Structure 1
Amino acid sequence: MVRSSGLLTGAKDPVALKSIAVTLSINDFVAGVSATLNYENEEKVPLEAFFVFPMDEDSAVYSFEALVDGKKIVAELQDKYQAHKSYEEALAGGYQAYLLEEDKCSRDVFRCNVGNLQPGSKVALTLKYVQELPLEDDGALRYVLPAILNPRYHLSEQSEESCLDLKTPIVPLEDLPYTLSMVATISSQLGIRTIQSNCALSSIDYNGESRTSAQFSLAEGHKFDRDVELLIFYRKVHSPSVAVEMGMPERESDSLMGAPSAMVSFYPDIPVMETSTKRGEFVFLMDRSRSMKSPMSGQNRSQLRIDAAKETLILLLKSLPIGCYFNIYGFGSTHEAFFPMSVRYTQETMEKAVEKVKAMLADLGGTEILTPLRRVFRKPPIPGHPLQVFVFTDGEVAETFNVIREVKFHSKRHRCFSFGIGEGASTSLIKSIARVSGGTAEFITGNDRMQSKALRSLRRSLQSVVEDVSLSWNLPPNLFAHMLSPEQTVIFRGQRLIVYSLLVGQIPQEEEATGEVCLQYSLHGKSYEEKVTFSLQPKPDDNLTIHRLAAKSMIQAKDFGFRETTMIFKRDVLDISLESGVMSSFTAFVAINKELNEPVQGPLIHRDIPRPILLGGSSPRPRNSSDALPMVLPCSGAPVSQPPRNVNMSYCAIMARMPEGAHQERYHSQRMKCVIHTDSPPDLPNIRKLHTYEKGSMEHTVAQLILLQNANGSWDMNEDLAKVLGTSLEDMKAVHPTEVLEPSAWATMLAVIWLHANGKELKCEWELLERKAVVWLHNNTVRGFTRLMRTANKFLNTTVSACIFTLKD
């Protein structure tokens, strides 16, 4: 079930939210965000309220303040224990107090306590953060403003205390009482080619002929009913660069925040190495929880998540290399493996797996990923076949840090490639399990195709191992670089590499003074290097963006949650967090308004903020139960503790929780009010829509052709293939050059040619299996492609070149 976040009272019932205003500033590859949420207490008694909201795992939160009746109160970052103590003492004294912290179970959920909110008071809560922006394969820089916070599945009744289970009523979209506004500025000397969004924007104002900056805003009337996504396309996005930022003059010149900080960006041009066989053990973990029955997006006739997952698994199975091992696990409240152990990839095992995939349902209850992961890691390794784990989930797991710790513990023998499906997937879970194991993370939302992103990760897993990765600096005398980022051991072709460093010592005063940084690595015994020269003159930034991003990367390398982090790492994280002002699992922002000292009169009043019904939701289920809900625990340290609630379930298109104590009969009429969105976002040429495929569509035809491919890469010449190619078996046999080609070789040639002629837009999805087919043709001594191409092109009415059958070096 998808829920909007907001200001919640001590019983987790929302208070009236009036508006949300976001100011976004993107400079090159970094976003700076200031978000203000405006609330008003329209009741006649004071409130204690909780503000729970999602945020990307990579966000470095460095400022929090409250504006109450015209008075600004700036929070101080403290040790979490001390912050809670200060907050509770302030409440006991009748002061207004504010507390902001990460949730104990996940780094992508934050909670703010607002204590002693007086009747008639207005409060504006403003938080600021900076964030690195990920780069897509097509060169787009992606920014997402999270709006959706899903409840997380609890592994057991003894789960860590968490505030992730929100309970808010469902109303039609038009009845929402709050709105979202966003003003954005984008600037880069790289030049802005275009900007796209899944939401309606005002007209974009580009500045100058070189279009180095742009301003725009969300169209008026936008509701906070889905994540806001922006895609920014620069003209020279793959250029390496180094940015140097001035430190704080009042700090020590060799300290984390006092010394100049450098942000280095590389785009390694790793050569493509193709071999006929590749080794590896490929294990796919697919979420089969009930939430996977939801659509991929809110658009009409959007494909169900489980259907997209099944097509993706079949595509992955067809693309696996000969000689590897594989297995598939489906998981929910329980888990099921296709085979007791990973099996060798053959025609027989592939066919068995495909049939099992076709029969898969989203019928395994909640989302328990830890147990199947442990089962995978405890299997004995297969000599010569490194383990590659692919995890597909909508990410609704409460015990995020337990999963991350398990993946990191086994990171020496595997890599994990993770996929977050749908709105609200946990960025903390998805990004962290990939980062700690040397894999990559992908998010599949709205109009994205799961198939293309899965194949991108499979290609990366098949890349030759890059070794001896190092970074060296050429700097003037008396100046040296102190690395802040963790040692980089894995890099992938086409992936951006970001490294942070302090420049300690004497920086030359000459404006033309420069330094040089060199990235070195080896591949198949051959050494490669890439260099970039940069200005040594640091630029001032009031927000200390680079310093805080560097601190965030250091915190992420050592912070594994409030309970799971070792004492040694905890001390390091606490020191880094307090020095940089960037929040961690062990720190919290606290502010006290000492001008107000009025005792609280009477009990707190709870009022709900309605939320819209959103497609793509999920419903949490507890362990070993088909009907009960997961245990809802009060947050640790909350001044007013509330007992766990028992909540009944209601069903309306997707599962939705009813308010406490409500009877189902009472809500029949309210269920009729639920709506499906018809306000479709604008068409985006770079984001493919994902609909249920109609017969005759290109996606459907390509999927049918892929389904017919054999494990070794070949196709059989039969009626099914002829139908996909738009011809008859008799005609295929009539033009078959029997004197030089076996039937399967002729069929394989025709299939490959058809893909190149008709499926170009989906090439990223069939490229691996097409290469497997070409290798099979060469291994079966097929020669004379140029002459055979004339016959094939004439038969298929195509004009494809024979170079498609050339093997790459």
Structure 2
Amino acid sequence: MVNCCGLVSDRNVPVPLKSISVELQVKDHVASVSSSLQYVNEEERPLEAVFVFPLPADAAVCHFSAKIGEQEIVAEVQDKQSARDQYDDAVSSGQQAFLLEESDASSDVFKLSVGCLSPGQTAIISIVYVIELSVQADHALRFCLPAVLNPRYSPAASAASVPEVSSACVIPYTLSLSVDVRSSDRISRLESSCPLDPLVFLDPDHTHATVNLSAGHRFDKDVELFLYYENTHQPTAVVEAGAATAQPGCLMGDPVLMISLYPEFPADMMSSLASQGEFFFVVDRSGSMGRRMHHGKDAQIRIESARDTLLLLLKSLPMGCYFNIYGFGSRFESFFPQSVVYSEDTMEEALKRVKNMRADMGGTRILQPLKHIYSQPCYPDHPRQLFIFTDGEVCNTKEVLDLVKSQAYCHRCFSFGIGEGASTALITGMAREGSGHAQFITGTDRMQPKVMQSLRFALQPAVDNISVDWTVPEGVTVDMLSLPINTLFQGQRALIYAQLKGQSSGKTEGAVTVKYRLKDQPVTNQLQFTLKPTEDTGLTIHRLVARSVIRSLELEGRARGADVEAVRSRIVELSVQAGVSSVHTAFIGVNKHSKQTVKGPLLQRRVPIWDMCQGPLRMSKCLAIKAGRKRKLAAPPMEFRSLMSCARGSASADDLPNWAAPLTDLGSLMSEPEPQMDPLLRLVSLQKASGCWELNAALAAVFGKAEDEVTNHRPAQVDGSVWATVLALIWLYSCRSGDQVEWQFVAVKAASWIRSQKPDGLSQCVCDGNVLLACQVTEGMLGI
């Protein structure tokens, strides 16, 4: 087993990847990312490096080049098979060649092949991609530079012939990152999960700023940036000029327009929650869910966090709705044969089963449980809502997304990616095709606040009936290039793309009117835009438009009855024209100027990025042998070899057989004491489905009181349940006010239940409760 990191020889000599440099240019809501990776062949023989890495699912790769010495090779976009043939021919003949291609199975995985580096030679690989920035709950725009190369990214086809390279505890290369932000809106601030130098404003209006990542950063975790603008809800329309070298009438030759729509939801409107619905909670129970949420102190196991989250969800559901819970791995199971009415009995039964959920179901196969859910008839007047939790990736991402899209008319899908290795293509794709919302739980993020925010989306009104009307001069036409937007939830932003065709002999201004409906209230926004945009804009928006159209064509090509070859031809044509990646094209560069060919046998090596799970996996291998003897597990030889392969990093933990799944994380092998439950979760666990609490010792213990003390302070005119429920609300609003997003629906149910009882002496009850718990909460704050 090879234990050093980077690109190594058969003598364990590292490391070809020396440094990574990234330049990030942000314009309003989109970003252009330029990455340079420096490789050095320190071996004595020529080398081929294979570097498989994640990129955001919606990124449009638009430039790929390599510089060897003073010679720079700029790659071209070509049909994928043609590019592969050229690469193979070049490498086999001793020429230097480079190939960058998107995975056939998932749009957020790319493979870079660096062919024929001579001994001692340095290569600088440059990759440029453009991307829309996602919106966070606090209105920030988020950019993430992923550091983790999870086992799912290892190319299985060549596993037998390529030496395995494990990550060590020290990353052998550093990262430098510079950020340039330009906006039509004032920039408030920029924050990061990593240390930054001070933000520097370059103009008095604070619409142009720069910042750098602090020097010496070790690329051992994702780099997240959060950008805040002042007028986040202001709609905008930005026009970008076409390329001067492109033919007018084609996408790259005409101006394109980007409309940003981020509706504002009035507080009074959002306070009303729906009381009906059918809720499915679909939880990944593969072996990797036995890993920890992060590497900090007291990090929770992922499946434990999922159990706590399900507790909050089940307690927050409204009476009379329908629900069911699915667990999936290599197989799947549901708590009930079909969704059941939410009541005290069904809630308690579900909670008992939640407590026994383990990461014990093998791999990650989500297609079959989704098919099972969609095969069941919907309940009238109960909108179907799916909440899907996973920490991995599946091999059939595009098939899953097609299935979700086919059911878009009858459900919404809220997806949650757990940990750095969750597939952005899968998570964001399911939410997009299901008109829902995607969330990622990374680093020290807690799952519960993000999930409860999505539950609020599911229970709140949404923007619908979205339409776009154009006013342009004679001679100009507008082609909408975005798919229709059905729904927008609070905190969601939509980018709408259009192509401006033709020429106006006179007027240079146009207008777009965006209309939508929010809870039966019509809203209209009219935006002006210029027909004569500034030249030399970098074509960022054009490339995002091309990527959007390509993705639509890919979906069209996978539809039943589609002319697959015709759609493929259109994708290749647009991909080559725009210079952006697609599943049917690749970037190919061959150094045809080299005066001598590379001689000698060619070594193939795989370059890793920091693997968060490598340490536990290596230890799991040793412990698995001991566990097997102790428990007398008779593992078939092939499966046991597969487990050893996974421990070396050549296979995903999700590929393990079911008997081995618990061995993929050290935490699931040790007999650790049961962690103390958070007082908030203890309180929530005691609430009844109707919303009330019972007066008992367990509830008193949450308050740090004896049962007799709580009972003796009860006002004579109220019964025990009303008194207990008022105390619970006082404790929540006073002692856990910072976590309100987690218990908001618990409190809504409790207040509603109290009002339904019409108790006498409620004001005195609140007053006495404040005295008992040493709090100062008003009756109005409790909503009762």
Same fold? TM cut 0.5: yes
- For residues 579 and 547 of structure 1, the distance between their equivalents in structure 2, rounded to whole angstroms, comes to 11
Tell me the residue number matched to 1:585: 583
Q: Which residue identity does 2:375 align to in structure 1? A: R
- Give the direction of change, closer, same or farther, for the CA distance of 1:208–1:790 in structure 2 (3 Å limit): farther
- For the pair 1:557 / 2:534, whether they are aligned, the reply is no
Who is 2:43 aligned against?
43
More deviation, 599-608/132-141: 599-608
Q: Map of 1:729-748 to 2, 5 A cutoff?
A: 729-739=707-717, 741-748=718-725
Q: Give CA deviations for 1:687-733 in whole Å, capped at 9, x if unaligned.
A: xxxxx9986xxx92211111111111222222222222333443444
Of the candidates 375, 392, 414, which is equivalent to residue 378 of structure 1? 375
Q: In structure 1, how many angstroms separate the alpha carbons of the residues matched to 2:539 and 2:327?
A: 45
Whole-angstrom CA distance in 1 between matches of 2:634 and 2:354: 24
Q: Does 1:133 align with 2:133?
A: yes
The CA distance in 2 between the partners of 1:485 and 1:506, in whole Å, is 22
Cα deviation digits, residues 77-134 of structure 1 (max 9, x gap): 1121222233233334443222211011111111122223223322111010111111
Contact 1:735 / 1:795 at 8 angstroms: preserved in 2?
yes
1:469 aligned to 466, 471, 474, which one? 466
Equivalent-residue separation in structure 2 for 1:548 and 1:5 (angstroms): 36
Contact 2:258 2:497 in 1 (8 A): yes
Match of 2:169 among 168, 173, 188: 173
Q: Return the offset for 1:768.
A: 1.8
Distance 1:629 1:30, change over 3 A: farther
Structure 2 residue aligned with 1:793:
770
SS at match of 2:107: strand
User: Contact 2:57–2:424 (CA<8 Å) still a contact in 1?
Assistant: yes
Which amino acid is the alignment partner of residue 547 of structure 1? H
1:173 partner SS? coil
* In 1: Cα distance, 2:66 partner to 2:315 partner: 55
Q: Counterpart in 1 of 2:76? A: 76
Q: Which residue of 2 aligns with 1:61?
A: 61
Size of the aligned set, in residue pairs, is 745
**For 1:35-62, what per-residue CA distance to the aligned partner results, in whole angstroms no more than 9, with x for missing partners?**
1111122233322332221101011111
Question: Once the 2 structures are TM-superposed, how far is the Cα of residue 791 of structure 1 from its aligned partner?
Answer: 3.8
Q: Write the mapping of 1:503-514 to structure 2, written as runs, cut at 5 A.
A: 503-506=500-503, 514=509
SS in 2 for 1:258: coil
Contact conserved, 1:25 with 1:186, CA < 8 A, in 2? yes
Q: 2:234 aligns with which of 217, 236, 239?
A: 239
Kindly indicate whether the alpha-carbon contact (under 8 Å) linking 1:153 and 1:366 is maintained by their aligned counterparts in 2.
Answer: no
Corresponding residue for residue 195 of structure 2: 200
Structure 1 distance, partners of 2:395, 2:554, is 17
Measure, in 1, the Cα distance between the counterparts of 2:4 and 2:366.
24
| Gap change, CA 1:560 and 1:535, over 3 Å in 2 | closer
3-state secondary structure, aligned to 2:310: helix
Letter of the 2:169 counterpart: L
Aligned residue for 1:602? 600
Question: What's the counterpart of residue 544 of structure 1?
Answer: 539
Counterpart for residue 685 of structure 1 = none
How does 1:639-658 map onto structure 2 within 5 Å? 649=644, 656-657=647-648
Per the alignment, do residues 427 and 732 of structure 1 end up closer, same or farther by CA in structure 2, a change over 3 Å counting?
same
Find the aligned partners of 1:597 and 1:629 in 2 and give their Cα distance.
51
Q: Confirm or deny: 8 A CA contact 2:102 2:583 kept in the other structure.
A: yes
1:449 offset after TM fit, Å? 1.3
- In structure 1, runs of 5+ residues without a counterpart are 632-644, 661-673, 677-691
Question: Aligned residue for 1:722?
Answer: 700
Within 5 A, what are the aligned runs for 1:447-486? 447-464=444-461, 466-486=463-483
Establish whether residue 756 from structure 1 lines up as the match of residue 756 from structure 2: no
1:72 positional shift: 0.8
Deviation at 1:459, TM superposition (A): 1.3
Aligned-pair CA distance for 1:223:
2.1
> Distance between the aligned counterparts of 1:351 and 1:153, measured in 2?
40
Offset at residue 201 of structure 1 (A): 2.6
Cα displacement (A) at 1:21: 1.2
**Aligned twin of 1:713:** 691
Which amino acid letter does the alignment assign opposite residue 248 of structure 1?
A
Contact map agreement 2:473 2:510 (CA 8 A) in 1: yes
Query: Deviation at 1:408?
Result: 2.3
Shift of 1:277: 5.6
- RMSD over aligned Cα, in angstroms? 3.7
Is 2:202 the partner of 1:217?
no
CA gap of 1:486–1:161, structure 2 versus 1, over 3 A, is farther
Say whether the 8 Å CA contact 1:177–1:610 is kept in structure 2.
Answer: no
Among 516, 520, 528, the alignment partner of 2:515 is 520
> Which amino acid in structure 2 is aligned with residue 715 of structure 1?
W
1:786, distance to aligned residue in structure 2 (A): 5.2
User: 2:148 aligned with 1:148, yes or no?
Assistant: yes
Alpha-carbon distance in structure 1 between the residues aligned to 2:382 and 2:762: 34
Quote the Cα distance in structure 2 between the aligned partners of 1:165 and 1:266: 50
1:398 is displaced (CA, Å) by 2.4
- The two structures have a TM-score, normalised by structure 1, of 0.84
Q: Secondary structure at the match of 1:551?
A: helix
Q: Secondary structure at the match of 2:220?
A: coil
Query: Is the partner of 1:481 in helix, strand or coil?
Result: strand
Shift of residue 284, structure 1, vs aligned partner: 0.9
Moved more, 447-456 or 214-223: 214-223
Q: Displacement, 1:751?
A: 1.6
Per-residue Cα deviation, 1:295-337 (whole angstroms, up to 9, x for no partner): 1112122122111111111111111111111111112222222
Distance 1:318 1:486 in 2: 37
CA distance in 1, matches of 2:14, 2:586: 22
Supply the distance in 2 between the matched residues of 1:165 and 1:599 (Cα, whole angstroms). Answer: 24
1:773 pairs with 742, 750, 754, which one? 750
Q: Displacement of 1:748 after TM fit?
A: 1.8
Alignment partner, residue 353 of structure 2: 356
> 1: CA distance between counterparts of 2:634 and 2:431?
31
Deviations 1:600-636 (A, max 9, x none): 5332224565765625999799xxx9968999xxxxx
Larger proportion of helix? 2
**2:398 aligned with 1:401:** yes
Cα distance in 2 between the residues matched to 1:538 and 1:378: 50
* Whole-angstrom CA distance in 2 between matches of 1:626 and 1:486: 53
Partner Cα separation in structure 2 for residue 231 and residue 40 of structure 1: 34
Change (3 A) 1:344 1:617: farther
Q: Distance in 2 between matches of 1:659 and 1:371?
A: 26
Does residue 1:387 correspond to 2:365, yes or no? no
Task: Give the distance between the partners of 2:638 and 2:55, measured in 1 at CA.
Answer: 23
Structure 1 residue 753: deviation in Å? 2.5
Paired residues for 1:670-689 under 5 Å: none
Distance in 2 between residues matched to 1:147 and 1:128, nearest whole Å: 17
Greater Cα shift, 795-804 or 251-260: 795-804
Aligned to 2:568, the other structure's residue is in SS state helix
Instruction: Provide the residue aligned with 1:269 in structure 2.
Output: 264
CA contact (8 A) 2:7 2:605 kept: no
Indicate how the Cα distance of structure 1 residues 507 and 575 shifts in structure 2: closer, same or farther if over 3 A, else same. same
Q: 1:9 to 1:785 in 2, by over 3 A?
A: farther
Percent identical pairs in the alignment equals 41
Distance 1:561 1:585 in 2: 14
In the TM superposition, residue 491 of structure 1 has moved relative to its aligned partner by 1.0
* Contact 2:50/2:114, CA 8 A, preserved across alignment: yes
Range with greater deviation from structure 2 (14-23 or 122-131): 14-23
Partner of 2:408: helix, strand, or coil? coil
* Amino acid across the alignment from 1:141: L
* TM-score, L = length of structure 2: 0.86
Give the drift of 1:461.
1.4
Q: Distance in 2 between matches of 1:108 and 1:4?
A: 27
Q: Residue 136 of structure 2: SS of its match in structure 1?
A: coil
Q: Which SS does the other structure have where 1:412 is aligned?
A: helix
Output one character per residue of 1:175-226: Cα deviation in whole Å (capped at 9) or x when no partner.
x432222222233343333322222233443445554333332333322222
Secondary structure of the residue that 1:42 maps to in structure 2?
A: coil
